[in-house]
Amino acid sequence: MKKLLLVLALAAMASAAAAQIPAAEWPKKVVKIVVGYAPGGPNDIIARALGQKVSAALGQPVIVENRPGASGTIASDYVARSPADGYTLIMNATTHSMANALYEKLPFDADRDFTPITLVGESTLVLVVRQDQPEKTLAELLNTARSQPGKLSFASTGAGSSPHLAGEMLRQLGKVDLTHVPYKGSAPAMNDLLGGQVTMMFEPLPSALPHIRAGQLRPVGVTSGKRIRELPDVPTMTEAGVPGFDITVWWGLFGPARMPPAVVQKIGMTVNTALSAPDIRERFDTLGITPVGTTSTEFRSVLLKDIAKYGKVIREGGIHAN
C-alpha cells in the first residue's frame, strides 16, 4: 500500500512539474507525434508534413511514430498515459470523437484524458452510387428505400467507421430501412459498389473524386454543412432532403491531459503557422483536405459537439466496435 501511494505521489509531482514548464524552455529534446495507423494514410501524411515544418521552426527534431491497431485506440491509450510535457503528441481524426460510445471497455476518455491543441484540417464524405443506378438523386433513393424497405444497401469500411456512421445517420434522419454491408477497408467496398453488389457508399472525397471524374460514380450529396469547391454542383445532404445531416471529417493534434497551457499555445501557434505555408496547402489539397488551424478551446468545442452527435447515432443504432 505504501509503495502504491509513493508511486501515485511521484506521478502527481511529475504532472505538477510538467504543468509549470514555461514556453521558453520548450522544446529541449525530440518531440514525438504518434499516429494510430500504418504509414501512408492521411493521419500519417499530415503528421509527417507538419512535423518537418514544426521541427524547422522550433529547432528540435520532430519524429512520427506509428502505433497501428484497434482503429487508433492503441496509440491514443499510449499518449493518454504519457507525461503531459509536450514531447508526446498524437495526430488523431474524427474517429477519436466516436471512441467513447463505440467501445465498451475503453481505457481512456476521449475528452478527459487529452488536451486538444489545434484542429489542422477538414474534409467531407461523398454519397456515391453507380452511374447506371436507376435512382439519380438522394430524393429518389429515399423514395425507393421507403417503398421497398431493406432493398437498398450501403457499404462501409467496417463497423464504427465514419462511412458506417454516415449510413446510420442517413437511416435515422431519413427514416429509411437500409442494409449495412461492412468491408475490411475501402478497396473491397469500392470494388463491390462498382460491381453492383451494393447500392451506395459514403466515400472520403479524395478517393471518390477519381471515380466521379472517370464517369463511374455519381455523387448525390456531400456530408459537410456547405457545398465544396471540388463538386460545386453537388448538394449537401441537408439540401438534398435530409435536414440536420452534417458530418465533417477532421484531423487534429492532441496531447495528454493537463499539458502546460503555455506549451499548448506554443505548439498550436507553430502548427497553425505551418498550415499557411504554400507547400503544406498544396499537399493538403492533393488529399482533399482544407487546412484550418484553431485554438485549443475552439478545437475542444468541436470535439465535444462530435462526441455528443456521434454518441447519439451510435446508441440509437446499437453499434459496437467490440
Confidence (pTM): 0.88
State the pLDDT confidence band at 320, using cuts at 50, 70 and 90.
confident
> How confident is the prediction for the chain on average, in pLDDT?
92
CB 218 within 8 A of CB 129: yes
Which DSSP category does 236 fall into?
B
| Locus of grid cell 456530408 | 223
Above pLDDT 70, what percent of the chain?
93
Axis crossing angle, helix 42-58 with helix 278-286, rounded to the nearest 10: 170
pLDDT tens for 256-292 read 999 999 999 999 999 999 999 999 999 999 888 999 9
pLDDT tens for 213-253 read 999 999 999 999 999 999 999 999 999 999 999 999 999 99
Rounded average pLDDT over 43-51:
96
For residues 18 and 259, the model is more confident at 259
Q: Write down all domains in the chain, each with its CATH number in brackets.
A: 26-123+249-317 (3.40.190.150), 124-222 (3.40.190.10)
| Locus of grid cell 479524395 | 206
pLDDT tens for 134-178 read 999 999 999 999 999 999 999 998 888 999 999 999 999 999 999
Residue 71: is its pLDDT beyond 90? no
Task: Give the pLDDT score at 13.
Answer: 52
For residues 205, 217, 203 and 144, what is the CA-based torsion angle, rounded to 10 degrees? 130
Residue 25: is its pLDDT beyond 50? yes
Rounded average pLDDT over 123-131:
97
CB-based contacts of 163: which residues, under 8 Å, 6+ apart? 125, 154, 155, 156, 157, 189, 201, 202, 203
Rounded average pLDDT over 308-313:
96
